[in-house]
A and B are shown apart, each in its own frame.
Chain A
Amino acid sequence: MKARNRALVIVLAMLLVACAGAPTTSTPGASPAAAAPSTAPASAAAAPSTAPASATANAGPITLNVWVRDYTLNQDSPFTSAKRAFEAKHPNVTVNLLGLPNDPLYQKLLLSKSGGDKPDVFQMDTIWLGQMAEEHLATNLDSHYANFSQATDIPDNYLASSKWKGSYYGVWLNSDVRLFDWNKDVFRKAGLDPEKPPATWDEMISMAQTIQSKLSGVSGVCFPAKAEETTADRWYPFLWMGGGDILSTDFSQATFNSAAGVQALQLYVDLVHKYKVTPISVLNQSGDDVENALFAGKCAMDIVGVGTGQADVAIDAQATYAQHYGAAQIPLCAGCQASSGAGGWLLGVNDASPQKDLAFEFIDMATATDNVMAFDVEQQRVPVRKSGLALTDAFKGVAYFDQIAQAAKVAHFAPWIPQYPKLLETIYTAIQIAVQGDVPVKDALDAGVAAANKILKP
């Protein structure tokens, strides 16, 4: 008996030591910083959105916690300028900005529902909107929109994507669209006109074959097919251009196995297996990896998101950038409509915030065209205000702003439903299965749709 007890103690002790010494399982980039807790008195909630400074002057010290993406706090940040203006207008208010990488921001927001630090204002990806609304993290902004002067300045397709179940839950900050990119140096070396990108799928395949026949070690066309978000995101425009969609209009059923979906995915499969102009190694490449391959001259053409490609290039280097790389509308299939995908960021007000009016006033200030333009230009983001889009002179330093603006007009959005993180997995898995080449495209998509429908209607 004693020996058995001793053995048990030894097992547990060894396990504790071994587990404590096991390799860490930390998430790359996960470094959420603590934010100061909100110290606002409840009385501050009564302040109207158009409140003059005096309305909060006697309310005691107030802290407005604003959680945003980390990169937005660099350069000409719309949040630091809004903070300055806001604190000048409301001397008793301190705006506390917290910058976080993408995943930690998402996780910290969800966890804030259970306790601990909470933001008053937070930045959210367009695909998080439904989830934030359903989880009562984002508050209903209908009453604020009723007096929101910027509302009429927001393009209709973007305004519609600020709504969940008919109500507003976010205010657009800025957007990014998907464009087709090519390496002009590679085109030159292959004897192709570097200023003439392919306009159709056939032209794209033909150019890719020409490049591969003349240059060794260069892939004709690349697309991301790794087990992650960009794989689905970059495929969507091919689905949309054929008239297909990811979900039915009421978001109740998955429809990406339509004829348009099959056609779009068959293109990917053919590029890899039939025309052999795309390496199978794209199965382990994200959007960033493919983009790096383009910049390195290892890949001649690819689809990238604006805000990840040209955005890394400083404005004063844009002209040089344009000598080496091109950006244009995504090539079309026969009989298809021009199409692009859009992503981007909205600002929401926390449902638990004791100072929603002040929070919305800060959003109003931060997203105003005159406040956000410098940042949009620097980051080559798409302004989500008609007044911003009209300021073409401001963007004259951005190499392909005309293409960006054109794509924004035909941009679609990924569905912003609460189940999107799970749904995404079914889509990129279907793409991976088809691209690997063992399963027919239709079968891969049907399996994906069946899995997606289980998620939509558990």
Chain B
Amino acid sequence: MATKSRATPWLLLAPALILLVVLVLVPYCGALFYAFTDATLTRIIDVNLIGTANFEQLVESRLPPFPTLITTTIVFGVGTAIGTLFLGTTLAMILHTLSSNWRAALLAVLLIPYVMAGVIIGYTWRLIYDPQAGLINTVLGMFGVGGVDWLTERGLSILSLVVANVWAGSGLVLLVISAALSNMPRNIVLAAQVDGAGLGRILRRIVIPNIMPAFLLATLIALIGGLNVFDLIFVMTHGGPIYQTETLALTMYRLTFQQGEVGQGASLTVLLFIFSIALATLYVMGWQREARRWK
């Protein structure tokens, strides 16, 4: 009987676990293996183990230089995370002040960008940024500001991509924070108000500590989401000009599918995986610290 009860949770978890193993773990293990081989698109079975040569080639690459690639990836990932967290959290807090009917309706509207395909978002923002006919330059033109090349000027192009991705990705943060705010006991806030606490103090002492676990989770999702973005950048800039907007995910595609170097592409996947592991570890450390504070 005891054996049966121990097996029950595993049986219930089995469908989800099998899917995760088949769709996530097995491909990751495959990528890890290929990262140490000379696999190409035409030769993915009979491959030779070549040690860390793929990683060495990656680090020595000049098209683009590896430090530039890492910097661009971090700037895009962190920029996206900061932007989506700020926008998503702010919108969630504003929605929380509305009646439940309005909140539900507006939440549905604000989630639209999150459910749209990245390719469509990319093309839409390309049009918005178009230097000659785009919405932004047209509006700026009304105020006498000359045409800005949003996607070709160094520095500005990565910022423009971050803005587009924040617009696309803030829906998930909004959803997570909204759920956390809904679960927050309302009487604590009311008690604080009775005691004369201002908005700032309520936010700092009650709201933020209450939503902190959800906020940490949203941070992790936003960061990993930012690191993995491919379609939006591919459509908007193709990683250019001169690799200025090329991230690890884009290089992985270029090496694997345009140049056929499966091994080198897989080595980038492994790097992305290591980044993700590091971020997840940081998340758990933060989560445990928060949990200890509430014990």
- Name the CB-closest residue of B to A26: B231
Q: Are B259 and A422 in contact (CB under 8 A)?
A: yes
B45 interface residue, CB < 8 Å from A?
Answer: yes
Q: In the assembled complex, which residues on chain A have CB atoms less than 8 Å from the CB atom of B44?
A: 111, 114
**23 A-B Cβ contacts within 8 A?**
A7-B288, A11-B283, A14-B220, A14-B280, A18-B220, A18-B276, A18-B280, A22-B224, A27-B257, A110-B41, A110-B42, A137-B42, A226-B238, A227-B237, A227-B239, A227-B243, A280-B149, A281-B132, A284-B149, A284-B241, A429-B243, A433-B242, A436-B242
User: A19 touches which one: B40, B41, B224, B281 (CB < 8 A)?
Assistant: B224
B23 interface residue, CB < 8 Å from A?
Answer: yes
A166 interface residue, CB < 8 Å from B?
Answer: no
Taking A15-B276, A103-B257, A137-B42 as given, write out 8 further A-B residue pairs in contact, using a Cβ cutoff of 8 Å, ordered by the A residue number: A14-B220, A19-B24, A19-B228, A25-B253, A111-B41, A298-B133, A421-B258, A425-B254
A24 interface residue, CB < 8 Å from B?
Answer: yes
A279 interface residue, CB < 8 Å from B?
Answer: yes
Q: In the assembled complex, how far is the CB of residue B154 from the closest CB belonging to chain A, in whole angstroms?
A: 8
Q: In the assembled complex, which residues on chain B have CB atoms less than 8 Å from the CB atom of A227?
A: 237-243
B62 interface residue, CB < 8 Å from A?
Answer: yes
- From 427 to 443 in chain A, residues with beta carbon under 8 angstroms from any chain B beta carbon are 429, 432-433, 436
Show the binding face of A for B, using Cβ within 8 Å: 7, 10-12, 14-16, 18-28, 103, 107, 110-111, 113-115, 135, 137, 217, 219, 225-228, 279-281, 283-284, 286, 293, 296, 298, 421-422, 425-426, 429, 432-433, 436, 451
- Name the CB-closest residue of A to B287: A10
- From 209 to 243 in chain B, residues with beta carbon under 8 angstroms from any chain A beta carbon are 217, 220-221, 224-225, 228-232, 234-235, 237-243
Q: Are B20 and A20 in contact (CB under 8 A)?
A: yes
Q: Are A18 and B221 in contact (CB under 8 A)?
A: yes
User: How big is the B interface, by class?
Assistant: 35 or more
Q: Are A14 and B257 in contact (CB under 8 A)?
A: no
Q: Are B41 and A10 in contact (CB under 8 A)?
A: no
Q: In the assembled complex, which residues on chain A have CB atoms less than 8 Å from the CB atom of B277?
A: 11, 15
Q: In the assembled complex, which residues on chain A have CB atoms less than 8 Å from the CB atom of B258?
A: 103, 421
Q: In the assembled complex, which residues on chain B have CB atoms less than 8 Å from the CB atom of A284?
A: 149, 151-152, 157, 237-238, 240-241
- Name the CB-closest residue of A to B282: A11
Q: Are B238 and A28 in contact (CB under 8 A)?
A: no
User: A114 touches which one: B23, B24, B43, B149 (CB < 8 A)?
Assistant: B43
- Name the CB-closest residue of A to B230: A25
User: B225 touches which one: A22, A111, A425 (CB < 8 A)?
Assistant: A22
Q: In the assembled complex, how far is the CB of residue A110 from the closest CB belonging to chain B, in whole angstroms?
A: 4
- Name the CB-closest residue of A to B235: A28
B98 interface residue, CB < 8 Å from A?
Answer: no
Question: Given known contacts A107-B257, A283-B240, A284-B237, is B249 in contact with A25 (CB within 8 Å)?
Answer: yes
Question: Given known contacts A20-B20, A111-B41, is B284 in contact with A10 (CB within 8 Å)?
Answer: yes
Query: Could you tell me the distance between the alpha carbons of A208 and B67 in the complex, rounded to whole angstroms?
Result: 41
- Name the CB-closest residue of B to A439: B242
Query: Could you tell me the distance between the alpha carbons of A144 and B90 in the complex, rounded to whole angstroms?
Result: 70
